[in-house]
């Protein structure tokens, strides 16, 4: 079944089309016509396809942010700041921009564009745009470090890992802009650091014992900031896992590559590895001594096929 969203169409708002889709049987496609949709949708129908025509012309945007005050005087917090929430397995997102317009506002703090949680979520040819905490790949870690830190749509949900796939996407931000606990595979994506001072690309919170965290293959890590100003990642939780292979790394990447978030214990628990990368930021001779360079044999474990086999 296909629903069309756009001015003068069957539905003019994505949220209205999603409500109608909940009772539909079989595969459901929401085809979104070009336009700017100022909405905060939640997709909770398994297998639903949210399909734009082109990410340059089809934009879902909102402007919630973590430091905004709620009516009761508390802050909104990170996990209620999202623009789009994918909250079911098998969802596909194609040919869209998902943007948090507050992300670049001074003092906004975290401002999630896409909150994705569910086994088999696939995002293709999309632009995911914000500054701090742009893309959250759920689930949340098991426990929060600051009381109330997980307030949001999934704070009381079971922590179930799911595999997510990102192909041919543009993802930008400045601080921890790809973060979370999911197994997430990125291929042919542009990962752009837009903060002009310093930053961190990933903040993984991979669960202990989970085989895969983030794997990047054939991606381009670009940056608008000064040379040697951005870390590839830091561990949001102790067992963070990130593997970057066959990727181009720009001159904005710091020679040491990885940061421990002032927790030396993570030197023994986190797993940060690189393989066959190239570009001005790809040299590994000055990387922190607790990161890894994969052998040819080890690299065979970090492929799309292996990740799909897992679980």
Residue ranges of domains in the chain, CATH in brackets? 2-309 (2.160.20.10)
Reply yes or no on whether the pLDDT at 253 is more than 90: yes
What average pLDDT does this structure show over 111-122? 98
In this structure, the number of other CB atoms found within 10 A of the CB of residue 72 comes to: 5
pLDDT of residue 44: 96
DSSP secondary structure letter of residue 311:
-
The lowest-confidence range among 39-48, 98-107, 224-233, 257-266 is 98-107
What pLDDT was estimated at residue 106?
A: 86
Average pLDDT for 69-77: 94
For residue 198, give every residue at least 6 positions away whose Cβ sits within 8 Å of its Cβ, in sequence order, or none. Answer: 225, 229, 230
How does pLDDT run across 183-237, given as a tens digit for each residue? 999 999 999 999 878 899 999 999 999 999 999 999 999 999 899 999 999 999 9
Residues 6+ apart with CB under 8 A from 9: 33
Catalytic residue among 64, 72, 168, 176: 176
**DSSP annotation string for 294-309:** --HHHHTTSSHHHHHH
pLDDT at 144 over 90: yes
Residue burial 121-151, b: 16+ Cβ < 10 Å; e: rest? bbbbbbbbbbbbbbbbbbbbbeeeeeeeebb
> Would you call the peptide bond into 139 cis, given omega within 30 degrees of 0 as the criterion?
yes
Among the residue ranges 17-26, 282-291, 297-306, the one predicted with the least confidence is 17-26
pLDDT at 212: 98
Phi-psi region of 268 (alpha: psi -120 to 50; beta: other; left: phi over 0): alpha
The pLDDT-based confidence of 283 (bands split at 50, 70, 90) is very high
Contact partners, residue 8, CB within 8 Å, separation at least 6 = none
pLDDT higher than 80, residue 311 = no
Average pLDDT of span 40-50 = 98
Strand duo 97-100 + 92-94: pairing: unpaired
User: Which whole number is the average pLDDT over 124-145?
Assistant: 97
Examine the residue annotation and report whether 168 is marked as an active-site residue of this protein.
no
Instruction: Judge whether 64 counts as a catalytic residue.
Output: no
Residue percentage of the chain with pLDDT more than 70: 100
Determine contact, residues 91/50, Cβ cutoff 8 Å.
yes
Q: Is the pLDDT of residue 25 over 90?
A: no
Catalytic residue among 54, 64, 133, 259: 133
């Amino acid at each position: 079944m296909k629903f069309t969203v756009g001015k003068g169409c069957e539905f003019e708002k994505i949220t209205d089309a999603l409500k109608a889709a909940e009772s539909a049987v079989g595969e459901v496609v929401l085809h979104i016509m070009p336009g700017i949709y100022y909405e905060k949708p939640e997709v909770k129908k398994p297998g639903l396809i949210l399909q734009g025509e082109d990410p340059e012309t089809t934009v879902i945007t909102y402007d919630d942010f973590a430091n905004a005050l709620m009516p009761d005087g508390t802050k909104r917090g990170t996990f209620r700041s999202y623009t789009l929430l994918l909250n079911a397995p098998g969802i596909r997102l194609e040919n869209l921009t998902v943007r948090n317009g507050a992300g670049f506002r001074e003092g906004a703090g975290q401002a999630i564009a896409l909150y994705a949680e569910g086994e088999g979520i696939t995002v293709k040819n999309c632009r995911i745009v914000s500054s701090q905490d742009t893309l959250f790949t759920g689930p949340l870690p098991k426990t929060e470090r600051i009381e109330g830190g997980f307030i949001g749509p999934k704070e009381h949900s079971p922590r179930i890992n799911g595999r997510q796939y990102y192909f041919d996407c543009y993802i930008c931000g400045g601080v921890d802009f790809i973060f979370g606990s999911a197994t997430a595979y990125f291929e042919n994506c542009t990962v752009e650091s837009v903060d002009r001072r310093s930053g961190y690309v990933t903040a993984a919170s991979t669960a202990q014992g989970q085989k895969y965290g983030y794997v990047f293959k054939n991606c381009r890590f670009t940056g608008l900031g000064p040379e040697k100003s951005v870390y590839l990642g830091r561990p949001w939780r102790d067992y963070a896992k990130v593997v970057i292979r066959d990727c181009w790394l720009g001159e904005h990447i710091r020679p040491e590559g990885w940061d421990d978030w002032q927790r030396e214990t993570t030197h023994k628990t986190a797993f940060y590895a690189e393989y066959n990368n190239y570009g001005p930021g790809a040299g590994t001779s000055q990387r922190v001594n607790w990161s890894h360079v994969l052998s040819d044999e080890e690299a065979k474990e970090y492929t799309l096929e292996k990740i799909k086999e897992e679980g």
